[in-house]
Structure 1
Amino acid sequence: MSAAPEYRVWALPGIPEVRPGDDLAKIIAGAALGEGLPGLADGDVLVVTSKILSKAEGRILAAEDREAAIDAETVRLVARRGTLRVVENRLGLVMAAAGVDASNTRAGTVLLLPEDPDASARRIREGLREALGVDVGVVVTDTAGRPWRKGVTDFAIGAAGVRVADDLRGGVDAYGNPLVATVVATVDELAAAGDLVKGKAGGLPVAVVRGLPHVVTDDADEEGACWLVRPAVDDMFRLGTSEAVKEAVSLRRTVREFTDDPVDPGAVRRAVAAAVTAPAPHHTTPWRFVLLESEESRTRLLDAMRDAWIADLRADGLSEDRIARRVRRGDVLRKAPYLAVPCLVTDGAHAYPDARRAAAEREMFVVAAGAAVQNFLVTLASERLGSAWVSSTMFCPEVVREVLALPEGWDPMGAVAIGRPAASPPARPARDAEPFVTVR
């Protein structure tokens, strides 16, 4: 019968106050040889708090520079609540205040994270091999909160000589079920184990984990803890709620060139669900969305609209050449793999005997339709779908109703071309809101 798996973890006493320029490998080696300690052995893992690396590397600033330091370390705002900022820092880590910390440092100073924690871990590992002749793994840690969970925990921001993750994909569990998504963040589990004995205020910045030699590696190509930073394209929780809304609004651009990729009908329906939360007069629901999911339905509608448009242009006296150019410019709807036709239904409108109030009543409903379409477009953008809202159906409502077999009271409010953008749109120029504001 094989022995049950086990490991030991202990804090390493005797680490003095670290100052800029100190050789941490020598300091740790000296502490490991302290009286009554088991020393270090091949296969051990050292779990080292990043604070002492920051001090040794001179990553110390005066406290009055804290906000400026956070700004300098920030590459992207993730969420802001009052004065608290959760940001992505230059290391790609998402943390409160970019990891700029005022704890475990002299009053009046703050600590920045090491510039390259993986390189810092390699230097400690190489220094310990030179000083003690041992091959150990090194994990550099910091503390952060986690989405959906109260409290903080230590996690790895740097690593050397340690298998960063255990990729179990392609294997099976104890019941023979295939593992398709399981990648264990080994260095994060080591970081948390070390923190249980180091603590946050005990002056014990280094822990030793023994009994897990299989996680220690001499593979020169082993990636550091930076491998665990999730790429933006795979990050489903990249922003806080209010920030996500702002980004979705900024992503909402008119797209006129689409790929041939099919559009997920579920994504469009989620956009409709957002659209129908728009404000509307008299507690009505004056919106309908006709979704043209088949190529046949799109072609039939667009052909009929083109014929009606050509007839109108001929009635305006335009030459055939000018008509052809106009029609070509309107081909954005044909380029899209999916169309939606938002319609306005005013059966809940109040009847007024005079034209002035009747016109104002209809305008209220048209405004509500615009609000719904804006919700629709913004939600499509959040689904990474491009769109173009084109007014053409408004010029031939009878044709649209006939081709799509819609009730007489449904007024088409343009058409929305939907698809995956063929290219990233150019950056939106900054627009100052003040010229659009009047204060009384």
Structure 2
Amino acid sequence: MTPPSYRVWALPGLPEVRPGDDIAKLIAATEPGLVDGDVLLVTSKIVSKAERRLVEAGDREEAIDAETVRVVARRGALRIVENRQGLVMAAAGVDASNTPAGTVLLLPEDPDASAVRIRDGLRDTLGVEVGVVITDTFGRPWRTGLTDVAIGAAGVRVLDDLRGGVDAHGNPLSATVVATADELAAAGDLVKGKAAGLPVAVVRGLAHLVGEPTEAAVGARALVRTAADDMFRLGTSEAVREAVTQRRTVRAFTDEPVDPGAVRRAVAAAVTAPAPHHTTPWRFVLLESEESRTRLLDAMRDAWIADLRRDGKSEESIAKRVRRGDVLRNAPYLAVPCMVMDGSHHYGDERRDTAEREMFVVATGAGVQNFLVAVAGERLGSAWVSSTMFCRDVVREVLELPANWDPMGAVAIGHAAEPPRERPARDAGAFIEAR
């Protein structure tokens, strides 16, 4: 049996690509000798030039801003961002090298569509069925150096899903999905080089990876990990700011259970907040069973209804107000943050004693904010509700808490049933008074 092998070579003879050029016709004009099953690896820069993605820009930073959807990390002038194509990469893929002064080159607007056009053009011109991969250079987390990856593809199996099979020893494969298109892109980069003026490479011998779109793949977009599956979406110190700004109040949850370990990790973040006199004023009561949540919420509801009736509210008004508490009742997990003032100072002076309590309240709030942000970092939704503060004695009695534990609201936790609403933009300057 002949062992598997393939051949890869750079395609010579391509002219300088200009705006409006047909990449497929330029390739065909070199008489490349393509056969069915070949894969062409095309550097994104020549595709961008042909598609008139050379744009005027006052400076590269302005162009990066315009192409950025989300900043993932920043160090000095270097930015790792998610761009309009959904790719996470340095500088949004904006290239200022080998372009006229005052211009930059952007990535193709739709690299998968670009690959389709090249593939269709080669079929029409040369009568061959080939795969096409549009490549660009990426850095990688935890790895030094650059490599080419696929940002667009047509007629190529971009992912080879081996899950459900077995290895040579019969062990089941449960997580193995091979990024075939990226492997092809890297192989092509070995012969194209970064400065050799050879923007296209050909791979022959892997025809089993080539086929019609219904058989092969839907394009390189399938290589981009979704936000829900991205374990490192909020990974760096810069991303902590992203977690803070992206935290939202979630009022509708799915039935999916909450991992208690995730909540405990959030508590670990909460208790790193600052506090006066080296104290630890935070306590978190975690209601993990439906029975404990129902018992607390029923008692709180009864106390609230009694208060509203004493205030002379109508039954209709009472029912409406009670429904506002449904966010707690519908959540699969509740946490009740409490404040304790162990270690506080007593001055015997009302003004100073009031300030002392306020310091502990602020510290507890800082802990709750840490908790909410950490919950968001665990990909969970939450809603802080103040209701336990209005019936502290009831909460202490039901939860059998010490008399010096002051409940400071309750946090509903769960998996969001729908994407949270966009928060209206706020001008930070409106909240600042500089002196």
TM over 0.5, yes or no? yes
Instruction: Say whether residues 1:206 and 2:205 are aligned partners.
Output: no
Aligned residue number for residue 272 of structure 2: 277
Please say if residues 79 and 239 of structure 1, whose CA atoms lie closer than 8 Å, have aligned partners that are also in contact: no
2:392 aligned to which of 394, 397, 403: 397
RMSD: 2.8
Which residue does the alignment assign to 1:119?
113
Q: Is the 8 A contact 2:267 2:284 kept in 1?
A: yes
1:97-246 aligned within 5 A: 97-106=91-100, 109-219=103-213, 222=216, 223-239=218-234, 241-242=236-237, 244-246=239-241
Change (3 A) 1:329 1:59: closer
Gaps of 5+ in 1: 34-38
The 10-residue stretch of structure 1 (66-75 or 317-326) with the greater mean CA deviation from structure 2: 317-326
Within the candidate set 393, 399, 406, 2:401 is matched to: 406
Relative to 1, partners in 2 of residues 1:14 and 1:421: Cα closer, same or farther, differing over 3 Å?
closer
Change over 3 Å in CA distance of 1:61–1:348 after alignment to 2: same
Partner Cα separation in structure 2 for residue 205 and residue 322 of structure 1: 71
Contact persistence 1:289–1:342 (CA under 8 A): yes
CA distance in 1, matches of 2:95, 2:40: 22
Task: Give, in angstroms, the shift of residue 279 of structure 1.
Answer: 0.5
Distance 1:257 1:98, change over 3 A: closer
Q: Distance in 1 between matches of 2:182 and 2:119?
A: 18
1:396: how far off?
3.2
Deviation at 1:310, TM superposition (A): 4.4
Q: Percent identity?
A: 79
The alpha-carbon deviation at position 277 of structure 1 amounts to 0.9
The Cα shift of 1:361 comes to 1.9
Deviation at 1:191, TM superposition (A): 0.6
Q: 2:426 matched to which residue of 1?
A: 431
2: distance between equivalents of 1:327 and 1:127? 65
1:197-346 equivalences in 2 (<5 Å) = 197-219=191-213, 222=216, 223-239=218-234, 241-242=236-237, 244-313=239-308, 316=311, 326-346=321-341
Asked if the contact 2:276/2:359 (under 8 Å) is kept, the reply is: yes
- Distance of 1:314 and 1:127 partners within structure 2: 77
Secondary structure of 1:429's partner?
coil
**1:31-87: CA deviations, max 9, x gaps?**
355xxxxx4333322222122222233322346464444344333333333333333
Distance 1:259 1:86 in 2: 33
1:176 CA displacement? 1.1
Contact 2:234 2:377 in 1 (8 A): no
User: CA contact under 8 A between 1:48 and 1:139: conserved in structure 2?
Assistant: yes
Q: Secondary structure at the match of 1:340?
A: strand
Q: How does 1:18-167 map to 2 (within 5 A)?
A: 18-32=17-31, 39-62=33-56, 64=58, 66-106=60-100, 109-167=103-161
- C-alpha distance in 1, partners of 2:325/2:151? 52
In structure 2, the CA distance between the partners of 1:422 and 1:17, relative to structure 1 (3 Å rule), is closer
| Distance (whole Å) between structure 1 residues aligned to residue 417 and residue 22 of structure 2 | 53
Q: 1:204 to 1:397 in 2, by over 3 A?
A: same
Q: Partner of 1:279: helix, strand, or coil?
A: coil
Cα gap change, 1:324/1:61 in structure 2, threshold over 3 Å: closer, same or farther? closer
User: Any idea what SS the aligned residue of 1:91 has?
Assistant: coil
Is 1:374 aligned to 2:369, yes or no? yes
What is the CA distance between 1:377 and its match in structure 2? 1.8
Q: Which moved more, 1:133-142 or 1:212-221?
A: 212-221
Q: By how many angstroms is 1:228 displaced?
A: 1.9
CA distance in 1, matches of 2:129, 2:412: 61
Provide runs of 4+ in structure 1 moved above 6 Å.
Answer: none
User: Does the residue aligned with 2:86 lie in a helix, a strand or coil?
Assistant: coil
Q: CA deviation at 1:192?
A: 0.3
Partner Cα separation in structure 1 for residue 103 and residue 168 of structure 2: 51
CA contact (8 A) 2:70 2:81 kept: yes
Q: Which shifted more, 310-319 or 159-168?
A: 310-319
SS in 2 for 1:298: helix
For the structure 1 residues 23 and 387, does the alpha-carbon distance in structure 2 shift closer, same or farther, using more than 3 Å as the test?
closer
Distance 2:95 2:223 in 1: 22
Of stretches 44-53 and 246-255 in structure 1, the one that deviates more from structure 2 is 246-255
- Say whether 1:418 aligns with 2:413: yes
Equivalent of residue 353 in structure 2, options 337, 354, 358: 358
Q: Tell me how far apart the structure 2 counterparts of residues 331 and 130 of structure 1 sit (CA, whole Å).
A: 62
Per-residue CA deviation, residues 179-236 of structure 1 (Å, 9 max, x unaligned), is 1222211111011011011110111112222222222224566422222223333333
Given that residues 59 and 102 in structure 2 are in contact (C-alpha distance below 8 angstroms), is that contact kept between their aligned partners in structure 1? no
- 1:427: Cα distance to partner? 2.4
- Does structure 2 retain, via aligned residues, the 8 Å contact 1:12–1:32? no
In structure 2, do the counterparts of structure 1 residues 211 and 334 end up closer, same or farther at CA, with 3 Å as the change threshold? closer
Rounded to whole Å, the distance in 1 between the matches of 2:71 and 2:420 is 22
Distance in 2 between residues matched to 1:179 and 1:307, nearest whole Å: 54
| Stretch of structure 1 that moved more, 220-229 or 42-51 | 220-229
Structure 1 residues 13-22 or 174-183, which shifts more? 13-22
> Which residue of structure 1 lines up, in the alignment, with residue 382 of structure 2?
387
Q: AA paired with 2:30?
A: A
How far did 1:331 drift? 4.6
